[in-house]
A and B are shown apart, each in its own frame.
Chain A
Amino acid sequence: MLILTRKSGEGIRIGDDIRIVILEVKGNQVRIGIDAPENTHVHRDEVYERIKLENIKAASATSEHLQKLFKLWTKKK
């Protein structure tokens, strides 16, 4: 991983069309501004990761799981 030290107000260029600027540093929080093309998605890492892990968990569902659910559902009705 490339590691750079930047001050508030300084920026980083990634390729030709992505620009990241450090807007403010306050205690352990950093505000970052990002200029990127429309089709480049920018997400907070933990949100992206959470959804990815949830997908992986969801992919382990079996027909038996659903069969059990149907029983619960019928009982409820």
Chain B
Amino acid sequence: MKGDYRVKLFTSRFGEIDIEEDKLINFTQGLLGFPDVKRYIVLDHPNNPDIPLKWLQAIDDPDLAFVITDPLLFYPDYNPEIDEHDLKGLNITEAEDCGIISIVTIPHGEPEKMTANLQGPVLVNLRTREGKQIVLESDKYPLRYSLIKDIPVSKP
């Protein structure tokens, strides 16, 4: 019954969107700080699908969305050590099933200071669409990795 079930959702950022059920990502534990929000969908930014940033829109809370990116685009050597039981918990058995997402923080009024969270990556089983945010104990990868290093800070 893949793709047969569609939901309409009215989001505060994107207005009404159509969701196909097989595009959902299920986070059984939610994201850190949002334990009750379990279902998300990845959306392109309207009008700008070419930019390497997307939205992780919550289904269960239409006001909640995160800007996300593929950390490997900005940090090609990014290779966090993932615990065996985290992989098991997501039923990841093959490397190609494993997707990795970084949540992006854009400080108010200072978009040029945007950073990606490399210490708390989001792991997704691309086959079963289960997801989980991982806490990396080591400080090897920063909590705030600057994504726009060489853009000068704009002056008012």
Output the least CB separation between B102 and chain A (Å): 10
Asked whether B106 lies within 8 Å of A66 as measured between CB atoms, the reply is yes
Q: How many Å lie between the Cα of A62 and that of B11 in the bound state?
A: 12
- B112 contacts across to A, CB distance below 8 A: 69, 72
Q: Are A59 and B13 in contact (CB under 8 A)?
A: no
Q: Assess whether A58 is in contact with B151, with CB atoms less than 8 Å apart.
A: no
Q: How many residues of A contact B (CB 8 A)?
A: 30
A46 to B133, CA, bound (A): 16
B77 to chain A, nearest CB (A): 21
C-beta contact mask, A37-56 vs B, less than 8 Å → 1, else 0?
Answer: 01101011001101111111
| Nearest B-chain residue to A60, judged by Cβ | B108
Q: A47-B135, A61-B105, A66-B45 are in contact. Are A55 and B31 (CB under 8 A)?
A: yes
A31 within 8 A of B: no
A26 contacts the other chain (Cβ, under 8 Å)?
A: no
Interface size class of B (residues with CB under 8 A): 35 or more
When distances are taken between beta carbons in the complex, the residues of chain A under 8 Å from B103 are: 54-55, 58
Contact B66 A50 (CB under 8 A): no
The yes or no answer to B114 lying at the interface (CB within 8 A) is: yes
Query: Complex formed: what's the CA distance from A54 to B85 in Å?
Result: 24
Q: Is the pair B117, A54 in contact by a Cβ cutoff of 8 Å?
A: yes
Query: Closest Cβ of chain A: how far from B21's Cβ, in Å?
Result: 24
B126 within 8 A of A: no
Given that A66-B106, A70-B48 are contacting pairs, would A55 and B13 also be in contact in the complex, using a CB cutoff of 8 Å?
Answer: no
A6 at interface, CB cutoff 8 A: no
Give Cα A60–Cα B114 distance, bound, in whole angstroms. 13
Chain B residues lying within 8 Å of A68, measured Cβ to Cβ, are 111
* Chain B residues within 8 Å of A44, by CB: 137
- Binary per-residue interface labels of chain B (127-141) against chain A in the complex, 1 for a CB within 8 Å, 0 otherwise: 000000101110000
Interface residues of A (CB under 8 A from B): 38-39, 41, 43-44, 47-48, 50-63, 65-66, 68-70, 72-73, 75-76
